[in-house]
Amino acid sequence: MGAEPLPGRVVALQANYCLVDLDGPCELGTDGSEPGRGGRLLCTRRTRLDKSGLQVCVGDRVTVASVDWRARRGSVVGLEPRHNLLQRPAVANVSQVVVVVALAEPGLDPLQLTRFLVTAEATGQPVQVVLSKADLLPAAEVEAWCRRLEGWGYATVAVSTHTGAGLAALRRQLGQPGIAVFCGPSGVGKSSLLNALAPDLELRVAAVSGRLRRGRHTTRHVELFPLAPGVLVADSPGFNTPALPSDPQTLAAAFPELLARLRASPCRFANCRHQGDPGCAMGGTWDRHGLYGRCLEEVEALAVVRSRGGQGRQGEGGMRQRGDRLEPLLNPQLRRSSRSTRRQALDGELSSPDRED
């Protein structure tokens, strides 16, 4: 048993355990008598590491103690402060978020893509878009999507694991040291992309199904994989409806084209809804005007529910998503203090399974 706590990084969670890659080299054992040290350990994790209720998540820097090298087990005893957190999929200390959506099968839904981008922007880190399955659309349409997303303010690369198009550009984009997270709907080819970039991984992939050619939730857990020295990429389970922030200011801050315009010339009123109101610097002709409007309506509807004492969290108390619409639940949860509600919402987000449908 080791005594000194050892530093490492959480690369995956499994029930009440986590996999931790220890810093430093992995030493081989001496034929049978002395077990190897370093490398990957299966560690117990307490549900709450400290009084603030923080939970360990993938990407966290931790310290491990009580190591049994023979069984390759240990116990997470310390958690370093996070630089940032992607809420869903839950990954800490990300250095870029790569939102992957398919050009076809399943078809590209601009509202869904926008919701993924809003979640990604909340990390404060660079956000890239990957348009997958470029082999399924004519080149001119692929090019038009790329130009459109660049107009939203995003570096965009169209890729195909079938033809190999765009893979070299994506590899370059992922070249920086740190953690890049692949996130997006199920079936868009996130795991296929990782397999194309690092064939040794042999991640499970599965064909899309049904009329809408949707994915089948093949990837079940977030996991970090090494792509190059110092470069980690997280594969994650696809899901369909990323949550929106709770206030309109945060929402607006997640639209780069809106921010850029407002920096150049602010709207007349500080609380402008940017929906073409008088004195609005955005006017009503920008590409994501309608998409922003729909997100804003949802954020405002949730704020109303919250102010009436509902929980205001999608899929739970307050409102729920019904197809395209958001509708109030009949029996909102009993009122709780807003701080404890927020805390619980975060805990739920971190501990709930990544599958939603």
Ligand X SMILES: Nc1nc2c(ncn2[C@@H]2O[C@H](COP(=O)(O)OP(=O)(O)OP(=O)(O)O)[C@@H](O)[C@H]2O)c(=O)[nH]1
User: Residues in the site for ligand X, rule: CB under 6 A?
Assistant: 132-133, 135-136, 160-162, 186-192, 205-208, 215-219, 237-238
Q: How far is the CB of 328 from ligand X (least distance, A)?
A: 30
How many residues are recorded in the chain?
357
Residue 114 in contact with Mg ion, rule: CB under 5 A: no
Residue with smallest beta-carbon separation from ligand X? 238
Query: Minimum distance from CB of 124 to Mg ion (Å)?
Result: 26
CB of 315: closest distance to ligand X in angstroms? 19
Q: Is residue 101 helix, strand or coil? A: strand
Residue 2 CA to residue 290 CA, distance in Å, equals 58
- Residues 163 and 60: their CA atoms lie apart, in Å, by 36
> Which of 219, 311, 314, 341 is in the footprint of Mg ion by CB under 5 A?
219
Q: 25 or 353: whose CB is closer to Mg ion?
A: 353
DSSP-assigned beta bridge partners for residue 101: 131
> Site residues for Mg ion, window 163-192 (CB under 5 A)?
190-191
DSSP helix, strand, coil percent of the chain (3-state; round to 5): 25, 25, 50
End-to-end CA distance of the chain: 43
For the bound state, the minimum distance from the C-beta of residue 298 to ligand X, rounded and expressed in Å, comes to: 24
The label of the residue with tokens 């997958």 reads 132
Task: Provide the 8-state DSSP code for 34.
Answer: B
CA distance 96 to 99: 10
Nearest CB to Zn ion, comparing residues 52 and 265: 265
The nearer residue to ligand X, 215 or 312, going by C-beta atoms, is 215
Q: Which of residues 267-326 bind Zn ion (CB under 5 A)?
A: 267, 272, 274, 280, 282
Q: One symbol per residue from 249 to 268: x for binding Zn ion (CB under 5 A), - otherwise; what is it?
A: ------------------x-
Between 206 and 346, CB nearer to ligand X = 206
Element (H, E) at 172: helix 167-173
User: The tokens of 12 are what?
Assistant: 């995956």
Is there binding between residue 63 and Mg ion (CB under 5 A)? no
Task: Tell me how crowded residue 256 is: count the other CB atoms within 10 A of its CB.
Answer: 15
C-alpha span between 114 and 209 (Å, rounded):
24
Q: Under the rule (CB under 5 A), what is the footprint of Zn ion?
A: 267, 272, 274, 280, 282
Q: Under the rule (CB under 5 A), what is the footprint of Mg ion?
A: 190-191, 218-219
